[in-house]
Amino acid sequence: MTRSWRGIFTILLTPFHDDRTLDLDSLRREVDFVVAAGVHGIVSPVNSSEFYLLADDERRQLVEAVIAHVNGRVPVVVGVGASNASTAESLTHHAREAGAAGVIAMPPYVLRPSADVMRDYFARIARVADGLPVVLQNAGGEVGMPLASSVVIELAREIPAIRYVKEETAPASHRISELLSLGGDVLDGVFGSGTGGRHLLNEWRRGACGLMSGCHLVDAQVRVYEAFASGDEAAARSALYRQLPAQNLWSLLGLGLAKEILRRRGVFTTAVCRRSVPALDGADHEELDRALELVREDCLSLEGVA
């Protein structure tokens, strides 16, 4: 039986060379960076990893590289979401064989599935996962299909392998409360909404078991979690507030900003994205300088910051 997951399960961003091919050397540095930061688990590839712009073979290559380099230091939860059950099934089989601790999937994200199609999709993932916990990612936005809390719990009751939910539909804090009220007996936990961890204290106070969000300031997020878990909510709030300017800037400018932070921190070689993102101008870089200065004390290193 897998020990219940709690804490910061950080999402790896996918590093690319200038020609947009996978940069596996940067990926391995990213793994070492987040483990050194004290994360409780790693998640990849999901939305923040640009999984929808990776070929299936690239997804497998990435998963193999991550699990091999983690080498058992923390659990790795592999994203297996797909547009159809057959592909999700194949990716789940690969994740299990590669050594994943669990898998995470949204519902099929291209065409809205019927209830029967969605039930079959998750049932097939669960069957191939063969005992690994399944995290149901309940996401809206560009590629998600948000589900009502009652539907999520119904799926979890019908498919016992669904042990966790990553709740991202707005307002996620209310959804977390609903899920735990409706199905706290069938779930091992509900992870918070991501969004750079801007709402994590609200979510944790409502009973969330942890956070799944991008890793660009993961050491600062770990500091918030550790203070909160030790009962020092005042210190947790102070640490959270120090990172809000950087996370708000990320919310405004998107994935390219997060990758620029990792580039500045010496983790990535480039800030290249496959998805279209705004180019950072001089004023953006000045704002980022100021925002990172506020969070410097919470981070392992920010040597690359001007």
Residue of 60, 94, 166, 265 marked active site: 166
Torsion of CA 108, 109, 114, 118, to 10 degrees: 20
Please tell me what DSSP assigns to residue 37: T
The whole-angstrom distance between residue 294's C-alpha and the CA centroid of its chain comes to: 24
Tell me how far CA of residue 111 lies from CA of 14, 83, 108, 136, 144, in angstroms.
25, 8, 7, 18, 10
Cβ-in-10-Å burial (0-12, 13-18, 19+) of 147 comes to buried
Spatial CA neighbour of 220 closest among 146, 295, 294, 133: 295
Q: Quick one: tokens of 230?
A: 């030790």
Instruction: Identify the sign of the CA torsion 83, 84, 85, 87.
Output: negative
Is 259 an annotated catalytic residue?
Answer: no
Catalytic positions = 166
